[in-house]
Chains A and B, each alone.
Chain A
Amino acid sequence: MNIVSLLEQRRHGWEELERLCDEMQSRGRTRGKAPGATRFASLYRSACADLALAEAYQLPPATVEYLHRLVGRAHNQLYRSRNFSLDRSVDMLVRQAPRQIFADPCVHVCGILFFGLFWLSMLLGMSEERLPDFPAQVVGEAQLEQMESNFEAELDAGFDHYVMMASFYIRHNTGIGLQCFAYGILIIPCIFTLAYNAVALGTSFGYMARDSTTGGDNFFEFVTAHGPFELTAIVLSAAAGLRLGLGLISTTGLRRGDSLKVSAIRAIPVIAAASVLFFLAAITEGFLSPSPLPYTIKAMWAILSSGAMTFYFVVLGFPRAGIDAT
């Protein structure tokens, strides 16, 4: 039995199968459509047969291992998992996510923590005669001046300036949200990041609301439209992260790794909802917030968006008894 000549015969088929695997991996189908698929199937069967006969052929172990890998790859291509389907995504966003958010204590904790600290720091930042130095101590003198100079100009005056700023804030705030989500698995950094940003944002808002601050009106005109979306999205992403971290701690009788995976499955709808809100916030912030439209429209948009979110979380999320109660 000359193994080399045997392999020489067989390897062309194996190499072709590997090439077809590559094609299917990169494009989801073979180059030759139907004939290619048929060819793929027959090559796959012959590779399986070769693997089954490896003992009889007395193939060297390295070749057997290669065949294992090849058959494995081909198998993964043949029985592909559907990666993305619109129906399931819509179902996740419209049905699962609101209920998950409504029922998840992580969301409640993050929401209370963030908005509580936010309003508290805003009040503290506003009280000019009692705590004049509070914003400077929290945020820092340099950043306050930076903010004031940013919002000095009228919104319609320097349109380009506000477009640049909007893009910066999109990057900055979405980054905060994603950071909260990532740190959630370690719990404490997540809560710290969330609380710190709540205090910093709230203090900035409070400072800008003072009568003595220049540019306050422009500032509020700028943030009104996208504020509800963005802050809620930060809360949601932190909640999704916290869900992961809690899964690592309270395993409810599962093994730790499995518990983490179950928590991840529960966190995915929440982070998906947060992504949609971030996206909406970014669109608003890019087009509506820096635009010279009258303030009424922006305020209306803020009220509408808050109402829509309330409907989403409460009406769609309210637990229903029935088949799909989870």
Chain B
Amino acid sequence: MSQLAPLDTTIEVVTPENIAFKYQLAGPFRRLPAFLIDVLVKLAIILFAVFAVALLAGITGSQLIGVFGFAAINIGWFMVWWFYGVAMETWCNGRTLGKMAMRIRVVTVSGHPIGGVQAMLRNLVCVADLAPPLSLQFFFEDAPPVYLIPTGIAALIAMTCTRRMQRLGDLAAGTMVVIDERGWTLPVARVEDTRVPALASYIPPDYRVSPSLAKVLALYAERRMFLSPQRRRELAKNLAAGLGDRFEFREDLDPDLLLYALYWRTFLADARDQDVDLQPLAGYSPMLKDAHLVAAEPVADSSDASLVEVAVVMEPDRDLEASIPPESRP
């Protein structure tokens, strides 16, 4: 195994066309529920067939239907039990019902859709992956020594030993199971917080955000709603300190707000500058050189001004939940 591989569950697949896909691998905790759902589905199909045949034979009262029906059930039972996975994965492009429910998919190691032969191999070897079976005597003292209960230890060992979390069947067929996320997220579409555009208007217009910084800002804006205000400040502090110096902002400006404003300016602000209603922020300046203009204490006759003062300037014990747009909360 390469030492340079990141300690992560993503696998990058590079096609000959130089398109690199990143896949996120599915671990046992997604695959086991999917497997159990599939087992239940198989049982449901078989039971339904048994009931249907019994009902049909009962209604018509013909013995022939009963006999041939149960013969067909025997064959169908075998087919469903062994080939349900093969058929589903071949025709539904690597997904069974359980996998659909858990949003995972089987693809080849090179990232292509799997074929019938691979689906057959990986599903037949599944029996070996469930080994070693556990005896019924483990639970009941007087049970016969029948080894029926699958433990799946072979699959777990194989998954922990391989880089792509493959079980034995996957190894034989050259497949892997990836998390299949079809949806995509728009960036944070609207920033409700009026302080953000207000602050953004003070960022020098000649400042160009580098691509790497833009990436960081976008990631930060997507993540920030899952973080507590203290964590946000902790994360934003490092970047914001340098930016604040560059823009000549006050030391006590909330770093989270600064990054959010920069994000807004980079991604969301229209080229034509819309007039932002600054509301109570009119007259406030974050610039260092304007620090003497703003009273250090809140103005007594305006409750709004005190709010402003507190909101923009960071205070560790104040909760900034208000700055989260309500619809963007998870």
| B1-49 with Cβ < 8 A to chain A | 13, 15, 17, 19-22
Are A76's CB and B112's CB within 8 A? yes
Q: How large is the interface on B (under 10, 10 to 19, 20 to 34, 35 or more residues)?
A: 35 or more
Beta-carbon contacts under 8 Å, A223-276 to B: 244, 257, 260-261, 263-264, 268, 271
In the complex, B185 has a CB within 8 A of chain A: yes
Q: Of A7, A26, A71, A170, which one neighbours B75 at CB under 8 angstroms?
A: A170
Contact with A along B246-286 (1 / 0, CB 8 A): 00000000000000000000111111000000000000000
A1-39 vs B, CB cutoff 8 Å, 1 = contact: the mask equals: 111110100000000001000000110000000000000
Is A163 engaged at the interface, CB distance under 8 Å to the other chain? yes
Does A292 make an interface contact (CB < 8 A)? Answer: no
Bound: A84/B63 CA distance, A: 41
How far does the Cβ of A53 sit from chain B's closest Cβ, in whole Å? 12
A264 contacts B267, C-beta separation under 8 Å: no
Complex contact B171–A257 (CB within 8 A): yes
Shortest distance from the beta carbon of B66 to any chain A beta carbon, whole Å: 8
Judge if B308 is at the interface, Cβ distance under 8 Å: no
With both beta carbons as reference points, the residue of chain B lying nearest to A161 in the complex is identified as: B67
Instruction: Answer whether residue B172 sits at the interface, using C-beta atoms and an 8 A cutoff.
Output: yes
CA separation between A73 and B73, bound complex, in Å?
39
Query: Smallest CB–CB gap between B153 and chain A, Å?
Result: 11
| A83 touches B (CB below 8 Å) | yes
Minimum Cβ distance to chain A for residue B57 (Å): 12
Report the separation of the CA atoms of residues A25 and B215 in the bound assembly, to the nearest whole angstrom.
33
Measured CB to CB, the closest approach of chain B to A187, in angstroms, equals 10
- Inter-subunit contact B172/A260 (CB<8 Å): yes
Contact with B along A159-173 (1 / 0, CB 8 A): 010011011101100
Min distance, Cβ A184 to any Cβ of chain B, angstroms: 7
Chain B hits for A121, CB < 8 A: none
Kindly report which residue of chain B lies nearest to residue A247, judged by CB atoms: B172
Encoded as 1 (CB less than 8 Å from any A CB) or 0, chain B from 98 to 125 comes to: 0000000000000111011100110011
Encoded as 1 (CB less than 8 Å from any A CB) or 0, chain B from 220 to 251 comes to 00100000000000000000000000000000
Known A-B contacts A3-B267, A68-B21; the reply to A257 vs B162 at CB < 8 A is: yes
Given contacts A1-B271, A167-B71, A178-B127, contact A60 B218 (CB under 8 A): yes
The CA-CA distance from A263 to B171 in the complex, in Å, is: 11
CB distance from B161 to the nearest CB of A (A): 10
The prevalent SS among residues of B at the interface is: helix
**Whole-angstrom CA separation of A83 from B86 in the bound complex:** 13
A62 within 8 A of B: yes
B152 at the interface (CB under 8 A from A): no
Contact A160 B64 (CB under 8 A): yes
In-complex Cβ contact of A181 among B115, B124, B184 (8 A): B124
Known interface pairs A81-B112, A185-B172; A4-B127 also in contact (CB < 8 Å): no
Let me know if A63 is at the binding interface, CB within 8 A.
Answer: yes
User: In the assembly, what is the distance between CA of A185 and CA of B270, in Å?
Assistant: 61
Is A156 interfacial (CB 8 A cutoff)?
no
Q: A1-B271, A3-B267, A160-B67 are known contacts. Are A61 and B82 too (CB-CB below 8 A)?
A: no
Q: Are B172 and A264 in contact (CB under 8 A)?
A: yes
Q: Confirm or deny: A58 has a beta carbon within 8 angstroms of a beta carbon on chain B.
A: yes
CA distance A169 to B239 in the complex (A): 72
Question: For residue A55, which residues in chain B have a CB less than 8 angstroms away from its CB?
Answer: 211
B84 at the interface (CB under 8 A from A): no
List A contacts of B120 (CB < 8 A).
271
Q: Which of A63, A167, A171, A182 contacts B187 (CB 8 A)?
A: A63
Residues from chain B with Cβ under 8 Å of A72 in the complex: 13, 15, 19, 21, 111
Interface size class of A (residues with CB under 8 A): 35 or more
Contact yes or no, B113 A76, CB < 8 A: yes
Least Cβ distance of A289 to chain B in Å? 13
B202 CB-CB contact with A under 8 Å: no
Residues of chain A with a CB closer than 8 A to B68's CB: 163
B310 at the interface (CB under 8 A from A): no
Q: Which residues of A contact B219 (CB under 8 A)?
A: 60-61
A167 to B121, CA, bound (A): 25
B185→A62 contact, CB < 8 A:
yes
B72 to A81, Cβ gap below 8 A? no
In the assembled complex, how far is the CB of residue B63 from the closest CB belonging to chain A, in whole angstroms? 7
Chain B residues closer than 8 Å to A282, beta-carbon distance: 75
Asked if A305 is at the interface (CB within 8 A of a chain B CB), the reply is no
**A183–B268 touching, CB < 8 Å:** no
Cβ contact of A71, chosen from B19, B173, B174, cutoff 8 A: B19
Nearest A residue to B93, CB-CB: A25
Q: How far is it, in angstroms, between the C-alpha of A63 and the C-alpha of B270 when the chains are bound?
A: 19
Report Cα–Cα, A185/B131, bound state, in Å: 11
A45 on interface, CB distance cutoff 8 Å: no
Knowing A81-B115, A261-B172, say if A4 contacts B128 (CB, 8 Å): no
Residue among B21, B68, B71, B92 with max Cβ neighbours from chain A (10 Å): B71
Nearest CB on B from A150, distance (A)? 15
Q: Is A311 close to B, CB under 8 A?
A: no
Contact of A68 among B19, B128, B222 (CB under 8 A): B19
Other A-B contacts than A58-B209, A174-B78, 9 sampled, CB-CB below 8 A, are A2-B270, A3-B267, A25-B93, A61-B215, A65-B22, A75-B19, A164-B74, A171-B78, A185-B172
A-B residue pairs in contact (CB < 8 Å), sample of 6: A58-B267, A61-B218, A63-B184, A168-B74, A171-B75, A186-B128
Binding site for A on B (CB under 8 A): 13, 15, 17, 19-22, 63-64, 67-68, 70-75, 77-78, 82, 90, 92-93, 111-113, 115-117, 120-121, 124-128, 131, 154, 162, 168, 171-174, 181-182, 184-187, 189, 209, 211, 214-215, 218-219, 222, 266-271
